[in-house]
A and B are shown apart, each in its own frame.
Chain A
Amino acid sequence: MTSDNQNGTPAWHLILAWGFVGIPLAWGVAQTIANSLKLFH
């Protein structure tokens, strides 16, 4: 990856970076919530 450009970080860099960590985390949280719901059954 090259260094950052002079005109600011492109929005797609931010989307890609946050998606890279956000999607697995959201999946893990969804799995945990599904398990946690057993408490209320």
Chain B
Amino acid sequence: MGTTAETDSEGLFGFFARSRTIARPGFSRWMVPPAALCVHLCIGQAYAFSVFNLPMTKLIGISQSAPNDWTIPELGWIFSIAIFFLGLSAAVFGRWVEEGGPRRAMFTAALCWSGGFILSAIGVYAHTLWLIYIGYGVLGGCGLGIGYISPVSTLIKWFPDRPGMATGMAIMGFGGGAFIASPLSVWLMSRFSTATHVGVAETFIVLGVVYFIFMVVGSIIVRVPAPGWKPEGYAPPTQASKLITTSDVFVYDSLKTPQFWLIWWILCLNVTAGIGVLGQASAMSQEMFPGKVTPVAAAGFVGLMSLFNMGGRFFWASTSDYIGRKNTYFVFMVLGFLLYVAVPSTGSIGSVETFVLCFLVIISMYGGGFATVPAYLKDMFGTRYVGAIHGLLLTAWSMAGIFGPVLVNYIREYNITHGVPKAQAYNVTMYIMAGLLVIGFLCNLFVKAVHHRFHMQPEDDGALATAAEAGAAMAARFTGRPA
């Protein structure tokens, strides 16, 4: 039986093995963020999927919806399924991603993501909605989850001196992907549409091919640092600081720690607060300022929020390298609380500028929460399984993705049906969001260093290597290939 390194270097798929991605001396670590961005810019398209909603309600009727055309609620499930499978696949495949290396994971993500588009194109041609649920929702969702976590630990290992900035750059790409996908999709649909055809299927095929090329380029240029590598002039801390460990925690052992669940709730609450208003920003701005904010201006407001969502990912994650992860989340919770409480006042005094400013800062912290969390996990659980632990944590995003919009929509409807004027229908929501951030503040307050009994010991490495070899031997029995 060969060693794991020998096993994964050989065979048809050897190119994708972790051992083949180890950088040679002199490799610039600044090649790795663009590799990560190749993946994140592509999967960030998910935020722009709504541009297809209206055209897909007219696939039969063309100029207007026919009775057999799909409805918006039916189409809404595509995005929901994709986000659900993002969280699920990140949690399930996290360890596989971590142990197999970034190239294999990025390539797999490319296959799933592009395959999802191609399958969805067939679904559009055949007018079969469940094919799109399986294509974009399930397969694409798995591409989202695997692609999202694939470069995280690699970046942290390349940038031990600036882990927040490094992961912030990649996760910023996820926020920026929609900026490219949205105008590109609209342009492609306009090129492919005719008097008898909407052009959605062709657009899906082009996007699938383009995204596949981009993501494969990322998987080719990505490298992991050689064991023991460190940046020039960087002296790793010899002793663990209060909240930054130098030890590692095994992926599934992290689930036994209170720190994992506290950070899970911090992310869930921060995202719930942000995602709820993100989807309602256009309607909210128009209803809170009737006559002052037109639909066109509201669309501009949404665009501006997307920019701050993206910029906040890089800004806050980079800031966390200087002020610490725990302090960064304290800023999110305290500043977020103050801003949410202030929003109803902006409506009552009729100050659009203050309203816009409040939400731009709030949404920058929503993005910042996503981008800072991998570095927070690295501080708590070490670098070894940080990608896999991040995958488990993304279930908090799936949960928030369901509860955030539901909370905002339900409270708004409840208020309006009980006679509250539309301009004030969001006030209670804002106070509830502020309350969620108070809970998040308390969760953050309780985060302490992980107890040393959860840290991996040298003998754990041996046990894991034996398990990996046993796995390789089992795979060899099925494939007939030598292990």
Contacts and interface: CB of A to CB of B under 8 A. Distances in A.
A14 B26 contact: no
Interface of B is mostly: helix
Given A28-B176, A28-B179, A4 B300 contact: no
A4 B24 CA distance: 6
Given A17-B221, A20-B217, A35-B299, A8 B28 contact: yes
B30 interface: yes
Interface string B308-347: 0010000000000000000000000000000000000000
B26 A7 contact: yes
Contacts of B30: 9, 14, 18
Nearest to B295: A38
A21 B27 contact: no
A36 B300 contact: yes
A24 B180 contact: yes
B25 A18 contact: no
B37 interface: yes
Nearest to B218: A21
B23 interface: yes
A39 B173 CA distance: 24
A9 B173 CA distance: 23
How many residues of B sit at the interface, in one of the four size bands? 35 or more
A3 B20 CA distance: 9
Contacts of A33: 303, 307
Nearest to B40: A21
- Of B182, B300, B301, most A-chain CB atoms within 10 Å: B300
A36 B307 contact: yes
Given A31-B182, A36-B304, 16 more contacts: A14-B28, A18-B34, A20-B34, A20-B38, A21-B34, A21-B173, A24-B180, A25-B173, A28-B176, A36-B300, A36-B301, A38-B297, A38-B299, A39-B303, A39-B356, A40-B300
Interface of B: 23-28, 30-31, 34-35, 37-38, 41, 173, 176, 178-184, 214, 217, 220-221, 223, 296-297, 299-301, 303-304, 306-307, 310, 356
